[in-house]
Amino acid sequence: MFTKILIANRGEIACRVATTARRLGIKTVAVYSDADAGSKHVAACDEAVHLGPATAKESYLVMEKILAAAKATGAQAIHPGYGFLSENEDFAEACAKAGVTFIGPPASAISAMGLKSEAKSRMEKAKVPLVPGYHGADQAPALLHQQADRIGYPVLIKASAGGGGKGMRAVDRSADFLAALESCKREAINAFGDDAVLIEKYLTKPRHIEVQVFADTHGECVYLFERDCSVQRRHQKVLEEAPAPGLSEARRKAMGEAAVAAAKAVGYVGAGTVEFIAEGEQFYFMEMNTRLQVEHPVTEMITGFDLVEWQLRVASGERLPATQAELKIRGHALEARVYAENPEKGFLPAIGTLSHLRFPEHVSFVRDGAVRVDSGVREGDAITPFYDPMIAKLIVWGEDRELALTRMADALGKTQIVGLATNVAFLKRLVESKAFASGDLDTGLIAKNHDVLFPAAKAPVDTVLALAAAAVLAREAESADADPWSSRSGWRLNQVFLRSLKLGSSEVQVAYGHSGYRFNGQPMTVTRDGLDYQLMLGEQPVRGTVVFEGETLHVFHAGTVTALELFDAIAHAGQDEGQGGKLVAPMPGKIVALLCGQGAAVKKGTPLLVMEAMKMEHTITAPADGTVAEFLFSPGDQVSEGAELLKFSL
């Protein structure tokens, strides 16, 4: 076994590989770009080598720099993770030349699976089922047209060099074929520099089922069952699971054996995934991914094996840790990919700082627990435009699919992220949807269930508003170093004070008097631990977490998050005047209390003065860090609208 490896990747997969290496007593070398100098994967490794600027082209994709880093640190092998150089045959070869082990398949196997039409010919010879189609070298349009007519419509024209959904055209009738062919070829030459195409029967309700295979250098090859990755949007996987719901043992075995035949046909070594497209009882070879995949943890959860450990053992020449007969499926596993993106805006990627980040209680390893979180970021880290916007993978295991689904919904409900848009709420609706729960999956599931997955926004419930109100009061108490409602000069002692808060489009009333708080007329008690609140609202206990992002409150409660814009008309009085200067009364009223001394240095947001107007209490806060130069009124004074209340200087 190796004693030191270099991990040529970043983020969660670099952390994932480092975890296994550490467990096996293997030292790790991280590589990083300018954007990743302080990142989690660097901290997860024993050593780190700087590669260059933030763009992948100038850092994670530069073979020479990575090989030089391996040489300089004495790493015996390189784990490429996924993406970046993981399926680059030139890199696999360059590693071999440099005398460093590439932890992946031989360059020849990567290349054999790289070109679609060639791969299909090989698979045909190996008796792996293919979608009825044409993948010949003769590309004469008339011949392709004739082939399409033979296959029968609808057909799919696919760029031979394509992948991931790029360069595909569906054609419904013979009359449309030649125009679609031309447009597909144009796209293919632009995207891949190669306009060869293949023609396939177009399956209209397909499932994406992929089989995990593993081969060693001693001629053994096994399958570790399948993953269903049908739930996708724009060719991006969203939810993956293992095993595939509803797959019979006979079909599982047939697919597993077909996947092993595919791997053997190209002399495969290491971890690989054979993708099938399935419809009804039929399944057909699509392509082979010659790397460890993002969704590998669901396979680990149901088999109990660590696939990175298998990769390291195989790469160092050991035999596979288990035989086919020893591999068994236990329970059911799901993975949800948490992305920085906005589902309501067409899944537009989001960037920003993870100002608040909490995951459910979890383990970071194979099957030690029911919930596993694989993440390459920590609170305070940023999601940048340079790399994939995945924040984390939530992986859950359950005795059966239903239990796994319940656990996933619960895990998503306990995932708290503030600072950028995420798909957490969307994922939760997805796993809670009838369509997904039924297990009748196909690649059109998200589109077909649009209304359930993108419901109209609802007005926030009282419990959420009460948590928000409690947090607003707590923030003011904190910024004043004392609760203005309990420890100030006695201005409230014989009265009940009322305060109105506008939270989003809702307005709530908070009162404080002899008997404590009232929220919209109901008695309320507040217990707080950092960001976590425990209220008694009447007889109802309410727990939640409230995070401020400027004047936006993010209220996490009962598994959902509500973002509320706080608007306190009077607290904002004077802010339009710019920084410092005048603070004026926004309506006629009476001064109730002055909350600090003249000349006091205060922070932005510190309550300065309480006035009462229209039977409500309003607090005027400092518009910026500064000094209260002079109060122009005393408690008890009447003030008219627009009257200057105090002089504030920066």
Q: Which residues contact 456 (CB under 8 A, 6 or more apart)?
A: none
Handedness of CA 359, 364, 369, 371 (dihedral sign): positive
Report which DSSP code applies to 420.
S
167 versus 243: smaller Cβ distance to ligand MV4: 167
Measured from the CB of residue 426, what is the shortest distance to ligand MV4 in angstroms? 18
**Partners of 630 in beta bridges:** 647
**CA atoms within 13 Å, Cβ hemisphere of 520:** 16
Residue 165 interacting with ligand MV4 (CB under 6 A): yes
626-631 and 601-602 strand pairing: antiparallel
Task: Render 259-286 in DSSP notation, one character per residue.
Answer: HHHHHHHTT--EEEEEEEEEETTEEEEE
- Given the residues 16, 291, 337, 488, the one annotated as active site: 291
Tell me, by CB under 6 A, how many residues bind ligand MV4: 16
The rounded distance, in Å, linking the Cα atoms of 275 and 273 is 6
Measured from the CB of residue 444, what is the shortest distance to ligand MV4 in angstroms? 8
Longest distance between any two alpha carbons in the chain, whole Å: 95
Measured from the CB of residue 200, what is the shortest distance to ligand MV4 in angstroms? 4
Residue 276 interacting with ligand MV4 (CB under 6 A): no
Residue 232 interacting with ligand MV4 (CB under 6 A): yes
Element housing 621 (H / E): strand 616-621
The rounded distance, in Å, linking the Cα atoms of 232 and 215 is 28
52 versus 245: smaller Cβ distance to ligand MV4: 245
Measured from the CB of residue 442, what is the shortest distance to ligand MV4 in angstroms? 9
**Partners of 348 in beta bridges:** 342
**In the annotation, is 227 catalytic?**
no
The rounded distance, in Å, linking the Cα atoms of 568 and 465 is 14
47 versus 124: smaller Cβ distance to ligand MV4: 124
Q: Which of residues 416-475 bind ligand MV4 (CB under 6 A)?
A: 443
Q: Which of residues 156, 159, 370, 472 is near ligand MV4 by CB under 6 A? A: 156
Measured from the CB of residue 113, what is the shortest distance to ligand MV4 in angstroms? 13
Measured from the CB of residue 383, what is the shortest distance to ligand MV4 in angstroms? 25
Contact criterion met (CB below 8 Å) for 43 and 22: no
Measured from the CB of residue 232, what is the shortest distance to ligand MV4 in angstroms? 4
249-265 helix and 116-125 helix, angle to the nearest 10 degrees: 110
Q: Which of residues 385-404 bind ligand MV4 (CB under 6 A)?
A: none
∠ CA 80-85-89, nearest 5°, is 105
Query: Which tokens sit at 471?
Result: 């947090």
275 versus 341: smaller Cβ distance to ligand MV4: 275
Handedness of CA 524, 525, 528, 532 (dihedral sign): negative
186 versus 235: smaller Cβ distance to ligand MV4: 235
Q: Which residues contact 565 (CB under 8 A, 6 or more apart)?
A: 503, 504, 551, 552, 553
237 versus 647: smaller Cβ distance to ligand MV4: 237
Query: Which tokens sit at 244?
Result: 């595939």
135 versus 362: smaller Cβ distance to ligand MV4: 135
Measured from the CB of residue 373, what is the shortest distance to ligand MV4 in angstroms? 25
Measured from the CB of residue 235, what is the shortest distance to ligand MV4 in angstroms? 5
Identify whether 243 is preceded by a cis peptide bond (ω within 30 of 0): yes
Burial class (CB in 10 A: 0-12, 13-18, 19+), 51: buried
Please choose, from the candidates 74, 69, 65, 76, the residue with its C-alpha nearest in 3D space to the C-alpha of residue 100: 76
Identify whether 154 is preceded by a cis peptide bond (ω within 30 of 0): yes
Measured from the CB of residue 58, what is the shortest distance to ligand MV4 in angstroms? 29
Phi and psi for 501 in degrees, rounded to 5? -120, 135
In whole angstroms, what separates CA 309 from the centre of its chain?
A: 25
202 versus 436: smaller Cβ distance to ligand MV4: 202
The rounded distance, in Å, linking the Cα atoms of 313 and 270 is 9
Instruction: Report the SS3 class of residue 150.
Output: helix
Q: Which of residues 13-42 bind ligand MV4 (CB under 6 A)?
A: none
Q: Which of residues 526-585 bind ligand MV4 (CB under 6 A)?
A: none
Element housing 163 (H / E): strand 155-163
200 versus 381: smaller Cβ distance to ligand MV4: 200
235 versus 330: smaller Cβ distance to ligand MV4: 235
53 versus 164: smaller Cβ distance to ligand MV4: 164
Phi and psi for 283 in degrees, rounded to 5? -140, 145
Binding mask 284-323 for ligand MV4 (x = CB under 6 A): --xx------------------------------------
Kindly report the number of other CB atoms within 10 A of residue 201's CB atom: 17
Measured from the CB of residue 87, what is the shortest distance to ligand MV4 in angstroms? 14
Kindly report the number of other CB atoms within 10 A of residue 456's CB atom: 5
Query: Which tokens sit at 504?
Result: 């989003």
Measured from the CB of residue 512, what is the shortest distance to ligand MV4 in angstroms? 57
Contact criterion met (CB below 8 Å) for 132 and 149: no
Residues in the chain: 650
C-alpha distances out from residue 584 to 418, 593, 601, 603, Å: 34, 15, 19, 19
Q: Which of residues 15, 131, 259, 566 is near ligand MV4 by CB under 6 A? A: 131
Query: Which tokens sit at 112?
Result: 């054999």
Residue 80 interacting with ligand MV4 (CB under 6 A): no
The rounded distance, in Å, linking the Cα atoms of 440 and 248 is 14
83 versus 376: smaller Cβ distance to ligand MV4: 83
Q: Which of residues 171-210 bind ligand MV4 (CB under 6 A)?
A: 200-203, 206, 208
- Rule CB under 6 A: which residues touch ligand MV4? 131, 156, 164-165, 200-203, 206, 208, 232, 235, 277, 286-287, 443
**Residues carrying an active site annotation:** 291
